[in-house]
């Protein structure tokens, strides 16, 4: 018999501390949709997605009701579209983006990810055409998310792709300047991109994945913070232990929902992504956890150390709670999606340079950062290169999702609404890295790649 | 199959009766009840057997939630597995 205290603890976590399952993401392989005629490809893609995912949203809602745990998003990830585009004679990638949008709307999902290219070592057929089409694709669709992998520990960094992506981010912002520059908020530039990530905007269904799979992403910064708030006199060993115990409980919930969804949909269960994913809601912030640990404001000296401990404890707690752990797994630090980060950025305590240091010890990278609209493409490319270097050398995933706010300057605000939140325009170092970026070529793989 | 019904809110007359009546109406057997009053906060947890219920569980959840709104209480029915998953290894 479960005791009353445990039951009430679970209910308090859900009711008062924003515990939720952030996403159930169905990964669907589109490799069998390849054809030389793009119209046939579009038909095949639409039919496959709408057949496989037709019950995804309904099943998610059923589980939500029966177990009493909110499941915020139901999403789909697909094979990187550049791989499908490679076979087409007419390489009009926007056509495929519109097909993905139509399929997402038919299924009723919140996002569909996989308008992606993997170019860490070079461009294959379809890659350049896809990247070229990203700004337009993100402007004419609402639910489609895009990602490009430009580097990895094994291959080094493709600096030609880094240059191209800086320009693409600027174009995506300009193309959507009438929609609060929403384009680049749906575009992630990765190093070491995971192939089973359920979180947007970077989700895609890797080539090594099965035909169809269910991945789950958990959340719960509010629960961790509430647990810490109740135990103010712990030393840091105690704090790490408490975070581990809390992460264990949160992840067990993800494991349960994942196995249940996989059973009901008749699709294999892939992984649980053990992430602390914040939302702009009050009480659901990773920055506030760091502040609860003892920093006056996120971004103060000590932030990197506190985040490193948090990230590690989340993994240690979560890994035993799930049979398969994957995706990004760690603490997310998206600025515009986290109430504490927004405040810290507004009051000047949190700067891009500090965020960059934080990305060396957390699960992702420079995420949802609004930068001045006049930031040059070369500067954005250089920011991408810096992040990719951190990921490459530390054998971890890093990513850049920055949003140039066209027509705005430092101190102004940009609002996207919903989970994407809003944020202040943050200062970027104006010194030019253009010569470095113009060199192109590849940064060779580091010594860490030679493990065999 | 078992479900946990929880009632949290201000103590008023007839809460237990109202929730039990709903259970009886849908052939849900109440196996165990614990309740406590902390200051004027009333907390009741019921373990129920839902294997013979004659209503869709999701609809039962809605009905309880509506009953809760009517009486100004938070009433939830949740599948037992979620508590087992979280609190037992």
- Per-domain residue ranges of chain B: 2-87
Question: Is there a contact between A101 and A138 (Cβ–Cβ < 8 Å)?
Answer: no
Averaged pLDDT for residues B68-88: 91
Q: Is the Cβ of A306 closer than 8 Å to some Cβ of chain B?
A: no
pLDDT of A311 above 90: yes
Q: Are A264 and A63 in contact (CB under 8 A)?
A: yes
Give yes or no for residue A452 having a pLDDT over 90.
no
pLDDT of residue A154: 96
Across the interface, whether the CB atoms of B78 and A67 are under 8 A apart is answered yes
From CA B35, how far away is CA A429, in angstroms rounded?
61
Q: Is residue A258 part of a domain?
A: yes
Q: Which of residues 51-70 of B touch A (CB under 8 A)?
A: 57-58, 61
CA-based nearest residue to A275, from A336, A202, A333: A333
Query: Which of B2, B48, B86, B88 should one mutate to test binding to chain A, selecting the residue with the greatest count of A CBs within 10 A?
Result: B86
Kindly state whether residues A284 and A163 are assigned to the same domain: no
B14 pLDDT more than 90: no
| Residue A186: pLDDT band with limits 50, 70, 90 | very high
- Tally Cβ neighbours within 10 Å of residue A208: 7
Q: Tell me the two tokens of residue B34.
A: 């614990």
Identify all chain B residues contacting A249, using CB atoms and an 8 Å cutoff: 86-87
| Rounded to 5°, angle at Cα A203 from A152 and A89 | 85
Q: What is the pLDDT of residue A317?
A: 93
* Average pLDDT of the residues of chain B: 91
ipTM of the complex: 0.89
A188: enclosing H helix or E strand: strand A187-191
Question: Side-chain half-sphere of A335: how many Cα atoms within 13 Å?
Answer: 35
User: Which of A212-226, A315-329, B28-42 shows the lowest mean pLDDT across its residues?
Assistant: B28-42
| Domain boundary residue, one of A191, A211, A244 | A191
**Rg over CA atoms, chain A:** 21
Please report whether residue A10 resides in a domain: no
Regarding the domain delimited by B2-87, which CATH topology (the fold level of the hierarchy) does it fall under?
Answer: Alpha-Beta Plaits (3.30.70)
Give me the mean pLDDT over the A262-273 stretch: 96
Two tokens, residue A328: 């990004």
Residues of chain B contacting A255 with CB distance shorter than 8 Å: 85
- pLDDT confidence of residue A163: 98
Residue A1 at interface with chain B, using a CB cutoff of 8 Å: yes
Average pLDDT of span A359-373: 94
Q: Nearest-CA distance from A331 to chain B in Å?
A: 20
Q: Which of A150, A171, A191 is the last residue of a domain?
A: A191
Q: What does the pLDDT average to over A94-110?
A: 97
A155-181 pLDDT, tens digit each: 999 999 999 999 999 999 999 999 999
* pLDDT digit string, tens, across residues A382-396: 999 999 999 999 999
A38-65: pLDDT as tens digits: 999 999 999 999 999 999 999 999 999 9
Q: A113: which DSSP letter?
A: E
- Considering A12-21, A75-84, A419-428, the range whose residues carry the highest mean pLDDT is A75-84
pTM (predicted TM-score) = 0.93
SS3 A219: coil
Instruction: Give residue-wise pLDDT tens across range B40-50.
Output: 788 999 999 99
A288 pLDDT higher than 80: yes
Shortest distance, CA A223 to any CA of chain B (angstroms): 13
Question: Where among A191, A208, A234 does a domain terminate?
Answer: A191
Per-residue pLDDT at A15:
86
In a domain, A310, yes or no: yes
Q: What is the DSSP string of A258-293?
A: HHHHHHHHT--EEEEE-EE---SSTT--HHHHHHHH
- The count of structural domains within chain A is 2
Residue A334: per-residue pLDDT: 94
Instruction: Please check the confidence at residue A118 and state whether its pLDDT lies above 90.
Output: yes
Burial of A26 (0-12, 13-18, 19+ CB in 10 A): buried
A1 pLDDT band, cuts 50/70/90, is: low
Are B87 and A66 inside 8 Å of each other by CB? Answer: no
Mean pLDDT throughout A283-305? 95
Return the CATH number at A359. Answer: 3.20.70.20
Instruction: Give the A window 64-83 contacts with B, CB below 8 Å.
Output: 65-69
Looking at chain A, the whole-number percentage of residues with pLDDT higher than 70 is 100
Q: Is the pLDDT of residue A149 over 90?
A: yes
Distance from CA of A252 to the nearest CA of B (A): 6
What's the mean pLDDT in A322-342? Answer: 93
Q: Under an 8 A CB cutoff, do B86 and A252 touch?
A: yes
pLDDT in tens, A432-444: 999 999 999 999 9
- According to the model, what pLDDT value does residue A181 have? 95
Smallest CA–CA separation between A253 and chain B, in Å?
6
CB-based contact, B36 to chain A, within 8 Å: yes
Is 90 exceeded by the pLDDT of residue A417? no
- pLDDT above 90 for B88: no
Nearest to residue A84, comparing CAs of A101, A106, A100, A107?
A: A100
Contact B82 A256 (CB under 8 A): yes
What would the mean pLDDT of B55-76 be, rounded to a whole number? 92
The mean of the pLDDT values for chain A is 95
Q: Best interface-test mutation with B: which of A3, A8, A65, A321 has the largest number of B CBs within 10 A?
A: A65
**How confident is the model over A66-75, as a mean pLDDT?**
93
The reply to whether A5 falls in a domain is: no
Range of the domain at A77: 25-191
Are residues A227 and A296 located together in one domain of the fold? yes
């Amino acid at each position: 018999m479960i005791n009353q205290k445990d039951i009430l603890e679970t209910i308090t976590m859900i009711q008062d501390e924003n515990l939720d399952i952030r996403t159930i993401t169905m990964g669907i392989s589109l490799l069998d949709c390849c054809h030389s005629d793009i119209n046939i490809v579009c038909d095949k893609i639409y039919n496959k997605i709408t057949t496989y995912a037709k019950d995804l949203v309904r099943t998610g809602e059923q589980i939500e009701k029966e177990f009493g745990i909110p499941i915020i998003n139901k999403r789909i990830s697909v094979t990187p579209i550049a791989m499908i585009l490679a076979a087409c004679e007419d390489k009009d990638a926007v056509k495929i983006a519109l097909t993905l949008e139509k399929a997402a709307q038919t299924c009723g999902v919140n996002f569909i990810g996989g308008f992606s290219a993997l170019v860490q070592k070079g461009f294959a057929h379809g890659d350049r055409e896809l990247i070229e089409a990203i700004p337009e694709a993100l402007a004419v669709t609402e639910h489609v998310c895009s990602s490009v992998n430009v580097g990895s520990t094994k291959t080094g960094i493709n600096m030609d792709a880094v240059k191209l992506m800086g320009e693409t981010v600027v174009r995506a912002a300009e193309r959507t300047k009438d929609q609060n520059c929403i384009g680049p908020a749906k575009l992630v530039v990765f190093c070491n991109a995971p192939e089973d990530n359920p979180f947007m905007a970077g989700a895609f269904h890797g080539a090594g994945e099965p035909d169809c799979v269910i991945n789950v992403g958990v959340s719960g910064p509010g629960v961790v913070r509430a647990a810490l708030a109740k135990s103010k006199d712990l030393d840091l060993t105690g704090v790490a232990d408490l975070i581990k115990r809390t992460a264990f409980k949160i992840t067990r919930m993800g494991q349960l929902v994942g196995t249940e969804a996989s059973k009901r949909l008749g699709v294999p269960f892939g992984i649980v992504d053990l992430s602390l994913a914040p939302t702009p809601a009050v009480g659901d912030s990773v920055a506030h956890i760091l502040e609860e640990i003892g920093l006056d404001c996120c971004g103060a000296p000590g932030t990197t150390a506190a985040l490193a401990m948090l990230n590690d404890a989340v993994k240690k707690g979560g890994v035993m709670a799930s049979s398969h752990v994957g995706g990004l797994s760690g603490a997310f630090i998206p600025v515009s999606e986290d109430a504490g980060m927004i405040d810290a950025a507004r009051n000047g305590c949190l700067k891009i340079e500090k965020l960059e240091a934080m990305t060396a010890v957390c699960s992702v990278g420079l995420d949802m950062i609004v930068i001045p609209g006049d930031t040059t493409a070369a500067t954005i490319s250089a920011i991408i290169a810096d992040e990719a270097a951190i990921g490459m050398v530390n054998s971890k995933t890093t990513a850049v999702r920055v949003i140039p706010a066209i027509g705005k300057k430092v101190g102004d605000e940009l609002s996207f609404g919903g989970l994407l939140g809003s944020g202040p325009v943050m200062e970027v170092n104006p010194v030019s890295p253009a010569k470095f970026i113009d060199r192109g070529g590849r940064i060779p793989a580091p010594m860490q790649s030679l493990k065999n | 199959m078992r479900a946990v019904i929880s009632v949290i809110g201000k103590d008023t007359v007839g809460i237990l009766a109202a929730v039990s009546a709903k259970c009886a109406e849908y052939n849900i057997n109440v196996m165990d009840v614990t309740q406590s009053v902390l200051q004027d906060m009333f907390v009741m947890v019921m373990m129920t057997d839902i294997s013979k219920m004659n209503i869709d569980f999701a609809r039962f959840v809605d009905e309880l939630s509506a009953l809760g709104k009517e009486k100004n209480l938070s009433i939830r029915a949740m599948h037992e597995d979620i508590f087992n998953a979280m609190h037992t290894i």
